[in-house]
Amino acid sequence: MGYYPIFLEVESMPVILVGGGHVALEKIGRLVDSGADVTVVAPDLIPEVREFIDEGRARWLARPFQAGDTAGMGLVMVATDDGEVNRSVADEARRNGILVNAADDVANCDFILPSLAKRGGLQIASSTGGGSPAMARWLRERLEEFLDDSVIDLADLLAETRVDIRAMDRECAAQCPRTKTPPPLLCEDCPNRIPVDRWQDAINGGVFDLVRQGRMDDARTLLKERLQRSELTPAPWWTEREAAEERVG
């Protein structure tokens, strides 16, 4: 198998979910929580799936799958135990160029769903390539144990700091004749560029220890010091833009 791991943006994406039983229940929650526009196609629904319909979080076509149902969809999910239905849905989806997943039916899948450990804004996906669902579940449980409060706090701190860094990047770009846009990409020689490894070194260089101790203000200060971005470093060529603007003026 050549599975390529991705996280797919499904906000407002039209998604068809064929089936209304317990397998459909495993799929629908994550779909609607991710903002997908879900249509369930099934003659009957178990009560737990029906709740999503009653709450207005998905719509229901109370009938079996029909030819043409995948038209206009961005994603197709099949949750039945009928191989013939799986194949007919998958064949139509593929003719329409739409990715399809059929639960426990690899032949009718273009992708498989990973086991997901999620807490706060963090998501860690793991997969055994379909080889061992038990192993995938075991690994997910271990990952959920890892995602404790300190890891969530660290993630929030890094996200907050990245927003601040991006604002500084825009400030740097506004003064630099070599910037690349959009978005503002700092030039290769910019003294304000932050190598990827510097983020990792900062996390491991005492920042996470402070987070674990609940010393968030100290962790925030140390992080920016480790990133060497407490303030912008003027580049010698910033004056080139100023000179150019003076000539234009």
Do 28 and 100 belong together in one domain?
yes
Do 77 and 122 belong together in one domain?
no
Contact in structure between 24 and 42 (CB atoms under 8 Å): yes
Number of domains in the chain: 3
Taking only the tens place, the pLDDT of each residue in 99-139 is 999 987 888 889 988 888 888 888 888 888 777 878 988 99
Distance CA 32, CA 20 (A): 15
Residue 1 lies in a domain: no
Residue 4 lies in a domain: no
Task: Name, in order, each residue with C-beta under 8 angstroms of 169's C-beta and a sequence gap of 6 or more.
Answer: 184, 186, 192
Domain containing residue 25: 14-113
The CATH number for 128's domain is: 3.30.160.110
Residue 218 lies in a domain: yes
Determine the pLDDT at residue 169.
Answer: 86
Do 53 and 104 belong together in one domain?
yes
**The one-letter amino acid at 240:** E
C-alpha distance across the termini of the chain, in Å: 61
Q: Could you tell me the CA-to-CA distances from 21 to 80, 82, 138 in Å, in that order?
A: 8, 12, 24
Quick one: which of 28, 16, 22 has its CA closest to 53? 28
Tell whether the torsion through CA atoms of 157, 162, 164 and 165 is positive or negative. Answer: positive
SS3 letters across 143-160: HHHHCCHHHHHHHHHHHH
- Provide the pLDDT confidence category of residue 51 given band limits of 50, 70 and 90: very high
The CATH number for 48's domain is: 3.40.50.720
The pTM of this model reads 0.74
Do 155 and 243 belong together in one domain?
yes
Does position 218 have pLDDT exceeding 60, yes or no?
yes
